[in-house]
Amino acid sequence: MDFKSSERATGQQLAGPRSEDVLPETAAAAVKVVIVGGFGVGKTTLVGSVSEIRPLTTEETMTQAGVGVDDTAGIAGKSTTTVAMDFGRISINEKLVLYLFGTPGQERFWFLWRGLFEGALGAVVLVDTRRLEVSFDVLGRLEERGVPFVVAVNTFPDAPGYPVEELRAALDLPASVPIVECDARSRPSSRDVLMTLMRYLHSLAAPTEAP
C-alpha cells in the first residue's frame, strides 16, 4: 500500500484539509506500525499523544453488551473502548514517517487484527503491570505472525514497578526484545518508544558480520 499517495489523495478529496495534515513532500519512506495490547492499557492514549495530526479514533461508550464479556478488572473507571482502530501519524525526521494503527484490546474484536497488521513493519506492545496477564495472548499472536515488536510498560500512577528482567521472565520474552518504560500521555515518552522500535527493526535488518 502506498500510504503517501493515498493520504495525499484523501486530503485532496476532503474539503479544506488542515495544512498540518498534509504529508511533507520530503518524506521518502512511510512505515506502518501497529500499537497493540490488552484492554485498557493505553493504546488510544499513546496514539493521541504522539500523533502530529488529529488522530482518528473509533471509541464508543461501553454498554451492557460487554458485561461478562470484557474483563474490566483493574480498570473499573473506563467508560469507552476502541471498536475498530486508532490512527495517527508522526514524522521521525524529514524523510521518515510512521503511520500508527492502534488495535482494539477486547478479544471479541480481534478478528480485525488481520487487516490492521497487513503491511506492518513492526509493533509496540503496551503492557500494564497491574494486569500483565492480559498481554499474554497478544504476545502469542505477534509471535505466531512473526511480527517484530518492542514492549512498552505504561507507568500508571498506581502500577507496581518491577525490574526489567523480572518483567522479561514474567512475559517469557527473549533477551533480544527491548523493554522500555513510558508514559502514554506524554508525547516525548511515546516518541521514545517508537524510536526504540525503529532502532530494533534496524538492528534486525542489519547484516550479520561473518565470524
Question: Looking at residue 103, what is its pLDDT?
Answer: 86
Question: What's the whole-model pTM score?
Answer: 0.75
Contact predicate 92/86, CB 8 Å:
no
Highest mean pLDDT among 7-21, 65-79, 91-105: 91-105
* CA-only gyration radius of the chain, Å: 17
Q: Which CATH class is domain 3-205?
A: alpha beta
Contacts of 10 (CB under 8 A, 6+ apart): none
Q: What is the mean pLDDT of residues 64-79?
A: 48
Q: What is the mean pLDDT of residues 126-140?
A: 93
Q: What is the mean pLDDT of residues 4-21?
A: 40
Q: Categorize the per-residue pLDDT at 71 as very low, low, confident or very high, splitting at 50, 70 and 90.
A: low
Element (H, E) at 93: none
Q: What SS3 state is found at 140?
A: helix
Percent of the residues in the chain that have a pLDDT greater than 70, as a whole number: 67
- In this structure, the strands spanning 179-182 and 86-91 are unpaired
Backbone angles phi, psi at 191, to 5 degrees: -65, -40
Question: Looking at residue 147, what is its pLDDT?
Answer: 93
The mean predicted confidence, pLDDT, of the chain is 79
Structural domain spans, the chain: 3-205
